[in-house]
Amino acid sequence: MGLGVAWLQFGAFERADFDPGAARDQIEQYRLEQDGGVPEEYELTGEIERDDGLLATLVLGRDAGDDDARADAIMLIVVPPDDRKPVIASIPRDLWVENPCTGGMSRINAGLSGCGDDISGPDLMTIMVEDLAGIGIDHYAEVDFDGFIRIVDTFGGVEICTDHPVRDWRADLELPGGCVEASGDEALAWARSRHTQELVDGTWRVQPGINALVRDERQQELVLEVADRISSFDSLGSLRDVARGLQDSVTLDGQMSLLRAVSLAWEHRNLDTDEVERVTIPVTDYTTSGGAAVVRPQASLEELLAEALDKEPGELAGES
């Protein structure tokens, strides 16, 4: 094995604790050990099978060094083994779902805090998304926002088109309007903006329709824009060189080497990203009993994925 290949296979990038199957058993035990035991109405979903040939990867984006351990962007990427189109599904970070660690409800991105002393954040997040999606997740990847900026800049920027000049001082966003080649900083600001304003007839106004769904769609567009740039590399080796420079911004599960991740990207470099099936969960605003502003799903992610993959919902989990 050459030194370059060995570095990519075993290099010093961060690894995530990732064994969602074992974590399900640990959560069950954790719940039993809590005061009062497991609530009568609570039942942890059994392990979801992973024998259907789909390659599913959970990808999270988060602030570098964020001690709060919350994911800001959550995406599930599913690649079928046949000629069906790949699917990218976005999950709003404020989605109000059952948390298997507590048996109660929480924002889905709170799963990154883990459960007790033994269940890692990546495992808990994976279990929560598996239960939503009805699909076994094979791999886990995490990109911090500094890394996202570097990835976009390394790949030559991304195109962002707006009808009018836009701004959001909270997200440090300012774009001139029309189509621009945005830098990594600008792309991140666009993806994270929750209070986008636009300049219309000389007056700044709140851009209509900004919600969790719009932010999910923006994030998908940026990911696919970056994916489009992979075809500009002239060899697998040149793409590997880029990956080496980004290793400190990426966390992968122990079963996915950086070499494998780069090879998968290279294998799909000629994919027309316009052909990728894009799934977003329709949501409605909701205020919890504690006063937290969250969103509730208005459709089943499992059913949306099944439709995108041309399957029946139960088939996603290997059920007959």
d(CA 241, CA 99): 40
Residue at 163 is within a domain: no
Output the six-digit token pair for 154: 């390394």
Residue 289's pLDDT is what? 93
Q: What is the CATH number of the domain that holds 140?
A: 3.30.420.590
Spell out the residues 6+ positions from residue 235 whose beta carbon is closer than 8 angstroms to its own: none
Cα separation, 255 vs 257, whole angstroms: 6
Structural domain total, the chain: 1
Overall pTM surpassing 0.95 (yes/no) = no
Adjacent-strand bridge partners of 250: 143
Supply the range of the domain harboring residue 24: 3-144+250-317
Task: Let me know if residue 174 belongs to a domain.
Answer: no
Q: What is the DSSP letter of 232?
A: G
Q: What is the structure's pLDDT at 37? A: 58
Instruction: Dig out the tokens for 180 from the structure.
Output: 């621009």
Task: Using only the alpha carbons of the chain, give its radius of gyration.
Answer: 20
126 part of a folded domain: yes
pLDDT of residue 265: 82
Asked if residue 121 belongs to a domain, the reply is yes
Q: Indicate whether 137 belongs to any domain.
A: yes
Mean pLDDT per 10-residue interval, the chain, length 320 residues:
40 76 87 65 58 84 66 90 88 93 91 90 94 92 86 88 94 94 94 92 90 85 85 83 78 82 82 88 93 94 92 62
Q: Is residue 208 part of a domain?
A: no
Residue at 168 is within a domain: no
